[in-house]
Amino acid sequence: MEPRSISFVEFPSCHSLVGIVLVLCFAHVSSTTNETDKLSLLAFKAGITENPLSVLSLWNNSMGFCQWYGRELQLGNNSLNHEIPPQISQLSRLQILWLENNSLVGEIPKNIAACFNLVSLTLAFNQLFGKIPTQVGSLSNLQLFYLHVNNLIGSVPSSLGNLSSLERLVFSLNNLGGSIPPTLGHLSKLQLFMVAQNKLSGPILTEVLNLSSLSDFDVGVNHIQGSLPAYICFTLPNLHVNYLGGTILSSLGNLTKLAALNLSGNNFQDQIPSELSNYFFLNKLDLSRNNLNGTIPPQIMSKSSQIILMDLSHNRLIGALPMEVGNLRFLTALSISKNMLGGEIPNSLGDCVALVSLMMGGNSFHRSIPQSMRSLRGIEELDLSHNNFSREIPQFLETFRSLKVLNLSYNNFKGMLPCEGVFENATSTPIIGNAKLCGGLLEFQLPKCISSNSKSRKVNVLRLSTVVICGLLGIAFVLAILYLSWRKRQVQEPAFSSMVVLCPNISYGMLLKATNGFSSTNMVGVGSFGSVYKGILEDNRTTVAMKVLHLVGRGALKSFVVGCEVLKNIRHRNLLKILTVCSSVDYERNDFKAIVYDFMDNGSLE
């Protein structure tokens, strides 16, 4: 029987199936072994009660057994929703087992250690619980071990120190507790060690840090304490660090040859040390999700900096973004969101021409987006949300063909929203919370913009209205002054006009003639405000009494006015009837005022 090569088979009925990767099936394997593996696979299939994507439907006699699986069994992303069948232990030739993202439940079967040829074991992104079986430590050929994003509890088994071939160990995002076993320091080939976001405690494990092969070390968001030994900067120049405790400088020691530094998700509460500028080989700096305070030291943005990625988000940093940011010519990603930074965006940011991602949301930056940023033509993601920008959105943003996501929400932008480029997609361009914006595509649901001509007409109408209103107010003011002046004259001389209406024919000359020139023989008395004369009017020979006021006396004019207003309308048997008044001037052009009454013998005008 000739050996044949089996290629990867893609089943059309399995849309999300990454597939059962077929490698080689050798005909020289004994028929007994083949039959055992076949029965084991059928038992494995029978143990899976839910198979929504029909990934196992072709495990039947219509297809040769060698096409069911070779040395790889890759069933990831198939929603199997079941426990791992114990029959897995019978697949002794299995080298790669990939059951990632299948909603698997239950515990990891202890007899999985019977698959002694396993090189890669991936059970990540499921709902597995219970402890990691210590029996796994017997898989001496295992190189990749992924259990992240499950609900595993207990401690990391010390037996894992026997996995002499292990290169990658990822147990992040579980509920593992206890301390990291020192036996892991025996894993001489270990490159990646990631157990972040668990409940691990104890000191930082120097036994693992002594491994010369180690390149990534992540124990963040645990209860690990201590600081890194200073000597590892010579043995681990490419170390990616993430752990909790202490201050930044005391934790790093003299690791000046670090290429990447990840201290995110810890509890550092000091300031960003300017001494990080001495880390000349540093190209990735992640200090996000801490409690760092103070300003961003400009020294870490020196011209000699090789930083490609800088993440300072989710801290309590204050002040402005240093203008030295323009020195970071190799910078591709900058995140300073969710801080308390403010001021204007420095023009020098436009010198970071390699930027692909710029995240500045959740701060207090204000005024405008600088025109210098038009040089960032390779940018793909720009977040300026939750700030205080108040000018118009620059038109150059719609010319950025690489820009896929632009978040301008919750600012005070005003004016017309551009319509091209990224602004053609409302989903990719949130602009909510900018009440003064207008225009744009209909899906943004903004009000229409008022044209400049309409604005000009409105301004002219407003100006004309202002002039008319001011003119009317001026006229009204003048009329009010004239009216008040007239009213004042009416109060001072009300009797003059009214009495002229009553007796328009009485004149100074007539009274002068009736009293023989106001002779003393015609005077019948003298009062406090004037003299009383008896006279005979020439027209009707009526005998009258006239009170001629002494206008130089205090109160005389008032007496004349009051007397006229009161006596002209009052009738009483004890009061003389007023006939008329005379308000004129004498022959010497002096004011003359007199009240004329019926004459009564022995009467009084006081």
**Terminus-to-terminus CA distance in the chain, angstroms?**
159
Answer yes or no: do 482 and 514 share one domain: no
Which of 490, 514, 538 is where one domain is finished?
A: 490
Answer yes or no: do 552 and 564 share one domain: yes
Banded pLDDT at 74 (limits 50, 70, 90): confident
For the chain, the domain total comes to: 3
Highest mean pLDDT among 54-68, 135-149, 585-599: 135-149
Strand locations in 257-352 (E): 260-262, 284-286, 293-294, 309-311, 316-319, 333-335, 340-343
**Does residue 301 form part of some domain?**
yes
Where in the sequence is the domain holding 470, given as residue range(s)? 450-490
**Angstrom distance (rounded) from CA 393 to CA 409:** 12
**Angstrom distance (rounded) from CA 119 to CA 23:** 14
- Is there a binding annotation on residue 338? no
Answer yes or no: do 576 and 474 share one domain: no
Phi then psi for residue 508, to 5 deg, are -60, -40
Read off the pLDDT of residues 196-216 as tens digits, 9 standing for 90 and up: 889 998 887 778 877 878 877
Answer yes or no: do 508 and 468 share one domain: no
**Does residue 93 form part of some domain?**
no
**Does residue 523 form part of some domain?**
yes
Which of 490, 508, 542 is where one domain is finished?
A: 490
Answer yes or no: do 498 and 482 share one domain: no
Tokens describing residue 28: 């020289």
**Does residue 184 form part of some domain?**
no
**Angstrom distance (rounded) from CA 497 to CA 489:** 11
Tokens describing residue 331: 């910078």
**Does residue 179 form part of some domain?**
no
Answer yes or no: do 486 and 498 share one domain: no
**Angstrom distance (rounded) from CA 545 to CA 514:** 10
Across the beta sheet with 223-225, the strand order is 177-179, 199-203, 223-225
Answer yes or no: do 460 and 546 share one domain: no
Judge whether 594 and 547 are in contact, CB under 8 Å: yes
Answer yes or no: do 465 and 377 share one domain: no
Answer yes or no: do 367 and 259 share one domain: yes
What is the DSSP code string of 343-365?
A: EPPPGGGGG-TT-SEEE--SSEE
b/e 41-65 (16+ beta carbons within 10 angstroms → b): bbebbeebeebebebbeebeeeeee
Tokens describing residue 498: 């009214």
Banded pLDDT at 372 (limits 50, 70, 90): very high
CATH of the domain at 375: 3.80.10.10
At residue 447's C-alpha, the angle toward residues 444 and 449, to 5°, is: 115
Answer yes or no: do 477 and 551 share one domain: no
**Does residue 172 form part of some domain?**
no
Which of 389, 407, 435 is where one domain is finished?
A: 389
Read off the pLDDT of residues 485-518 as tens digits, 9 standing for 90 and up: 777 765 554 444 443 334 446 788 888 888 888 8
Predicted local confidence at residue 134, as pLDDT: 93
Judge whether 379 and 360 are in contact, CB under 8 Å: no
**Does residue 313 form part of some domain?**
yes
Answer yes or no: do 270 and 384 share one domain: yes
CATH of the domain at 538: 3.30.200.20
Answer yes or no: do 239 and 379 share one domain: yes
**Does residue 318 form part of some domain?**
yes
**Percent of the residues in the chain that have a pLDDT greater than 90, as a whole number:** 38
- The mean pLDDT value for 315-335 works out to 95
